[in-house]
Amino acid sequence: MCGRFVITSAPAALRQLFGYVEQPNFPPRYNVAPTQPIPVVLVENGARHFRLMRWGLLPGWVKDPKGFTLLINARSETVLEKPAFKRAIRRRRGLIPADGYYEWKAVDGRKQPFFIHRADGAPLGFAAVFETWAGPNGEELDTVAIVTAAAGEDLAALHDRVPVTISPRDFERWLDVRGDEVDAILPLMIAPRIGEFAWHPVSTRVNRVANDDEQLLLPISAEEMEAELEASKPKRVARKAAAASSDDGQGSLF
């Protein structure tokens, strides 16, 4: 899956790569999370445009969004049939500019975060589907989900799902929604080639959405990983002790 990502390339460079009309200026983001507004590239009236949408798709048929599960990812294997996505995949496809994403893997009994990026350092274009939800009082909300696929042999070492990334040569094909046919895009909804991505462990500071700085991307050593583990132990012990003594046992883009 993809639950956090990074967008650090210069706005002008992203505009040149994705070819949208607008030139928005925005600061780098190192810890983008669900429910936040994120950039989406789409085609309107024959031209590519830059739009902000809430990360977490909300289908148009939802009556009460408060009781609806947040859909941050759409599985490529079922996106054509799932009620939440089957219309969007045919008529509302977009690209999300990014420079990498985070994934967590169980290491020594805890979740260790890793930063994943293209091996050549180039920006990414996540495959996305979006919907505009209209509320009973006339309010509208543009929402989006990232398409995911089964991980390839290398990235499967971290997680069994990966975001689908679209190559710049295929941007036009993915964004072309002039017809309802999807045969042309089916070959695009696959995992990256083996060796296309690289990754390294990073600090557990990324676990907190409030932390959003370039230090999050720095690789950490095995010794630093161990130090973070040791630092977290007293807190975990204290929480367990508190639970045992209680009666019921009982986280804008721009």
2 is an active site residue: yes
Is 111 within 8 Å of 101 (Cβ atoms)? no
Digits of tens for pLDDT over the chain (254 positions)? 789 999 999 999 999 999 999 999 999 999 999 999 999 999 999 999 999 999 999 998 998 888 888 899 999 999 999 999 999 999 999 999 999 999 999 988 889 999 999 999 999 999 999 999 998 888 899 999 999 999 999 999 999 999 999 999 999 999 999 887 899 999 999 999 999 999 999 999 999 999 999 999 999 988 888 888 778 776 555 455 444 443 333 234 44
Q: Where are the domains of the chain?
A: 4-199
On whether the pTM is more than 0.85, the answer is: yes
The continuous run of DSSP H or E covering 69 comes out as none
Is 92 within 8 Å of 173 (Cβ atoms)? no
CATH number, domain 4-199: 3.90.1680.10
- DSSP E strands in 76-210: the ranges are 93-98, 100-107, 110-118, 124-134, 140-150, 161-163, 197-201
Burial of 247 (C-beta count, 10 Å sphere; 0-12/13-18/19+): exposed
Q: Which of 22, 81, 103, 226 is catalytic?
A: 103
